[in-house]
Amino acid sequence: MSHPTTTISTTNYHLAMKEPNEKKIAALVKQLLVELGEDPARDGLVKTPARVAKSLLYLTRGYRQTPRGVLNNAIFDAGANHMIVLRNIEVYSMCEHHMLPFYGTCAVGYIARSKVLGVSKIARIVDCFARRLQIQERLTEQVADAILDASKAEGVGVVFRCRHLCMMMRGVEKQNSEMVTSAMLGSFREDEKVRQEFLSLAK
């Protein structure tokens, strides 16, 4: 299955955004509580706007990160070109359509030419894009593109398996649904044997 290359804006990919105004976010949350029919002055909600503001800043911190920044030059010489797979990377993100969480796991594989990435940095690159308002399809492509750009690998494969609360707790309410997306670049797209080896290891 072929995957078109996703266009990634310069602002979201190469440049980190400035820190948002936390007090302004808290004020907006307070206004939202009023519109929902709540009393933000009652005991249980007095500190809620500030807590939600901090939570949202944490959950969307990927806007203030870049792949290059989280990689932090952790690129090392490799003596052989072989497949490297990191799987069962925990993923937490937020659907951009309803701002509800989706969560699951990710597997990343690549065939190094002469450089390898620090293993923890692969997970950090995943988080860099996951911690934004997302759709899973774009998230998958962004991670694959970033790994390829950082490693200059012969090929890259990425698979996400996630459950979406916007589908589980509202709408069709399908509790056991799981969405699987993949992106294959370079030899992972062009060579069936390479692709199948990765998919077998990624399970």
CATH of domain 22-61: 1.10.286.10
Section 157-168 average pLDDT:
96
Q: What does 53-103 look like in DSSP terms, one character per residue?
A: HHHHHHHTGGGG--HHHHHTT-EEE-SS--EEEEEEEEEEEEETTT--EEE
Tell whether domain 74-202 is in CATH 2.70.50.60: no
Determine the pLDDT at residue 17: 80
Q: Whole-prediction pTM value?
A: 0.89
Tens digits of per-residue pLDDT, 99-132? 999 999 999 999 998 889 999 999 999 999 999 9
Tens digits of per-residue pLDDT, 18-28? 889 999 999 99
Give the domain ranges of the chain: 22-61, 74-202
Tens digits of per-residue pLDDT, 53-78? 999 999 999 999 999 999 998 999 88
